[in-house]
Chains A and B, each alone.
Chain A
């Protein structure tokens, strides 16, 4: 449709370079408006500062559980559970269901995306119905927990699980979260710790981050572009863990994943057309696994951001995802069992 076709991920690489602006265009307005609305809800929780240095989980290690496609193939939570790991488990909201269904209650859940309707699905959406499902195939077509494909049934299951265990979980709840997410979190009795996601450099004139801080005085966290990186930041800078294991942190898709089952499929088709997907998707070989994966601009940007965050940290990060493209300077890449043997 357009004249921006480039072969072999060339356009994707250019989009990665512009992802800060693209993301700002996408979320800043919603994030700010949610922060203003959530200002009225702050009394229902504490500042993230209250979580700083708290003794959560035994020892100086923790494991981040994200919901990348590897969790279906590697099932890390089963290994964590079987090993009797006692360190802290920090999970993205997208992996709550995976953890709870496996009988593991995470110590800390993190959420930040301001999307009005999608994110609450991870907590169980009390208002989900056939009509809402007909309008959005986002979850239905992605390479994730297959139970999510039976959406209404799965939604009821996660509603029940989070209702049962909500009171046992802490949540680092971004002030950018949607009204639906905040209502659901309150309903489940989770212990809330509020934080502002940095939307820009707070030292810049007219900073939106500073506007949020001036509004609510909550700590401002560099969230690294996504909730998985936010979990890492919670482990490193808030819980101050020395050893951080990552699972489900793929930031990519397995080679045999149909493009239609990737997160940004519709957006990429709208941009370049079905016949030009190769211009946006980028193939990456993971040298630790001698396997190829492919990724899209947002995930490549997440990967680059996480590598930079890790490089600036004193903690030691070990990627135990056993898949994906998060490797590079400062990141040890080993099987999850190796990490567990060291820290149990």
Chain B
């Protein structure tokens, strides 16, 4: 896209690259992939069975 636009016009202000959008897209993709890597359910360390949480509260 940059090559296509080059030379068509002159900007009044200096234009800088905005890589954030791509990074964000990759980040979202990675986060979605990561989410699908998870287990079936949580592991809650140092717990077994809470038969009645009313008693524990």
Interface contact B40-A227, CB-CB below 8 Å: yes
Interface contact A24-B42, CB-CB below 8 Å: yes
Interface size class of chain B, counting residues whose CB lies under 8 Å from the partner chain: 20 to 34
A219 to B47, CA, bound (A): 12
Question: Is A223 an interface residue, CB under 8 A from the partner?
Answer: yes
B residues engaging A (CB < 8 A)? 26, 29-30, 32-54, 56-57
Contacts of A230 in B (CB 8 A): 41
Q: How many CB-defined contacts (below 8 Å) exist between A and B?
A: 143
What 8 new A-B contacts, CB under 8 Å, besides A27-B40, A271-B37, A297-B37? A27-B41, A199-B41, A213-B53, A223-B42, A225-B39, A233-B48, A237-B48, A270-B29
A297 to B36, CA, bound (A): 12
B34–chain A nearest beta-carbon distance, Å: 5
Interface of A is mostly: helix
Most buried by A among B36, B37, B45, B47: B37
Nearest CB in chain B to that of A24: its residue: B42
- Near B by CB (< 8 A), chain A positions 16-36 give 19-20, 22-28, 31
Contacts of B54 in A (CB 8 A): 217
Contacts of B52 in A (CB 8 A): 217, 219
Interface contact A202-B50, CB-CB below 8 Å: yes
**Which of A2, A25, A221, A302 makes the CB contact (< 8 A) with B49?**
A221
Interface contact A237-B44, CB-CB below 8 Å: no
